[in-house]
Structure 1
Amino acid sequence: MQVFRAIPSVADRPVVLTIGNFDGVHLGHRALLAQLAAKAHALGVPAAVMTFEPHPREFFMHEKRPTRLTSLREKLELFRQAGVERVYVCRFNARFAALSAHAFVDDLLVRGLAVRHLIIGDDFRFGRGREGDFQRLREAGELHGFGVASMDTVEIGGERASSSAVREALEQGDLARAQRLLGRPYAISGRVEHGQKIGRQLGFPTANIQLKHRSLPLSGIYAATVTGGGLSNAPGAASVGVRPTIADGLRPTCEVYVLDREVDLYDEHVSVRFCHKLRDEARYEGLEALREAIAQDVANTRAWFAENPISED
């Protein structure tokens, strides 16, 4: 899969294209990507995705921006698994936001990408002030000779598959609902970095996942599995939150204690899959009380995995 950090001024070959943020790459997104790959195969051209970094809502909403379900790296891997051959990551800034619907079509879709066929979600809008819509794309397609199709909403168990619904499920600790919408257990991935090593001092050394500036849609203590750095679905107890016992105002972290393993995961890229929420994050009166709480979390994690054996799928 090829990844481009901008739209070229002139296309090197035609593509079948879809456009969107695709945060989480849930089952609705995956249905659209399957349709994209099938159409591209039929036309003999690459299946391509145009996506944005940062998410437009992050650009416009700043402090009220939604949490991210997937990092760019995670999203790209999910695209690759879905059969996408090209990804165009567009820097969403003031200049891009000011692009008119007409320029979006002429400069990006026609000249930059030579779109043969375009597949979009049923709520897709584009151009300055969201002035462009499906009908405008249909008219542009008739003028420039590319097809346009709209993907209907995908429902899972009577619920619309959407990134907002997945975020809501995770915020409520409903991992089963999130998994239904995603078609897989929710997971985060990142490089293991050095932390304050407080877990090691307490007898529970943890792998600290690098989040950079990313905030997560879930918090609390979880039974989880870890893959990467020589591990495959290794059971562990994961903590996501701001560690209120340690200090106030700390940035969110994701830490995981791998059960019954002594492994050096520093600088390894790992994936943490969340299986079951044990409890919410809490503040304790001192490190000894925190150590006792972690010990109980580890015991509860062991008990949960004893009743719910790990599946390899």
Structure 2
Amino acid sequence: MLVYRGFSQTAPSATVLTVGNFDGVHLGHRALLARLKTAAVDAGLPAAVLTFEPHPREFFAPESAPSRLSTLREKLELLADDGVDLAHVCHFNARFASLSAEEFVERVLLGALRVRHLIVGDDFRFGARRTGDFAMLRATGARLGFQVEAMDSVTLDGERASSSAVRDALQAGRLEHAARLLGRPYSIDGRVVHGDQIGRQLGFHTANIRIKHERPPLQGVFAVEVKGLPGGPHQGAANLGYRPSAHQVLRPLLEVHLFDFCADIYGAHLNVRFLHKLRDEMKFPDYDALKAQIARDVAAVKQYFQM
């Protein structure tokens, strides 16, 4: 997949395009991307996505913006996995936010992305003060020579598949439900870094994984699968949070105790898939109590994998 940042370079050819934040790339997004790929193959053109960084809600109201489901890198990897040929990452700033709906169509969709066929969600709004909508796009497309179609929402047992629904499920510890909305287990990527060796002192070696999520959508102790190591995926128990009982950290830290695996993996880039939540983080009075709880957690996770 080719990735362009900004609009200094125009698309290499006319495109079949969709536009959105695609946070988490859930079942609704994936249905839209499947339709995009089909239309692109039919037209003999690349399947292209326009997405934004940061998320517009982070720009307009950073204090109340929701947790991100995926970093930019994770999102681009997921888009590539779903067959996208070309991704344009728009830096969402005051200048871009001030574009009128008409300017967005003429300068971005037509000028930079050379859109021939546009596919959007049924709730798509755009332009300054969100004045642009599907009716405006369809009328403009008829006038300027590009086709526009809308995708209906995807529902699962009556619930609309959305980033908000996935986020709510993760925050509530309903990981299996989140996986159904995503079409895969929720995962976080990160690189293994050196830690303070607390896990080793407690008898449970851990891989300390630096993540780029400022506010991950879930915290606690989990059963996980880890991809990115030889012979994987590997099963393990993970803690994601701030370690209130051992050298509390200011940024969230992901620590994974891998079962039946022992190797130097510093620097490895791993993908951690969250399968089941055991409990929230807890503060323990001393290391003996913490060690005893970790032993119970590891036993519970192993039992989960045996079910």
TM range (shorter): over 0.9
CA–CA distance in 1 between the matches of 2:4 and 2:67?
Answer: 25
State the shift of 1:197 in Å: 2.2
The answer on 1:162 being equivalent to 2:165 is no
CA–CA distance in 2 between the matches of 1:231 and 1:225?
Answer: 12
CA–CA distance in 1 between the matches of 2:159 and 2:291?
Answer: 41
Q: Deviations over 1:208-240 (max 9, x none)?
A: 222135321111101111111324121100111
1:220 matched residue in structure 2: 220
SS at match of 1:290: helix
2:172 matched residue in structure 1: 172
CA–CA distance in 1 between the matches of 2:2 and 2:18?
Answer: 15
Q: Deviations over 1:116-174 (max 9, x none)?
A: 00000111111111111111111210121000111101011221100000000011111
The answer on 1:49 being equivalent to 2:24 is no
CA contact 1:228–1:268 (8 Å) conserved in 2: yes
2:244 matched residue in structure 1: 244
* Equivalent residue letter for 1:295: A
How do 1:129-168 residues align onto structure 2 when only pairs under 5 Å count? 129-168=129-168
Alpha-carbon RMSD: 1.4
1:310 matched residue in structure 2: none
Further displaced range: 36-45 or 227-236: 227-236
Q: Identity rate of aligned residues, in percent?
A: 56
2:189 matched residue in structure 1: 189
* Equivalent residue letter for 1:181: L
2:205 matched residue in structure 1: 205
CA–CA distance in 1 between the matches of 2:66 and 2:287?
Answer: 33
How do 1:61-72 residues align onto structure 2 when only pairs under 5 Å count? 61-72=61-72
- Unaligned runs of 5+ residues in structure 2 are none
* Regions of 4+ moved over 3 Å: 8-12
2:102 matched residue in structure 1: 102
Q: Deviations over 1:156-209 (max 9, x none)?
A: 122110000000001111111111111111111111122222112212121122
CA contact 2:190–2:212 (8 Å) conserved in 1: no
- Unaligned runs of 5+ residues in structure 1 are 308-313
State the shift of 1:274 in Å: 1.1
Further displaced range: 191-200 or 148-157: 191-200
2:22 matched residue in structure 1: 22
State the shift of 1:249 in Å: 6.1
SS at match of 2:78: helix
How many corresponding residue pairs? 307
TM-score (norm 1): 0.94
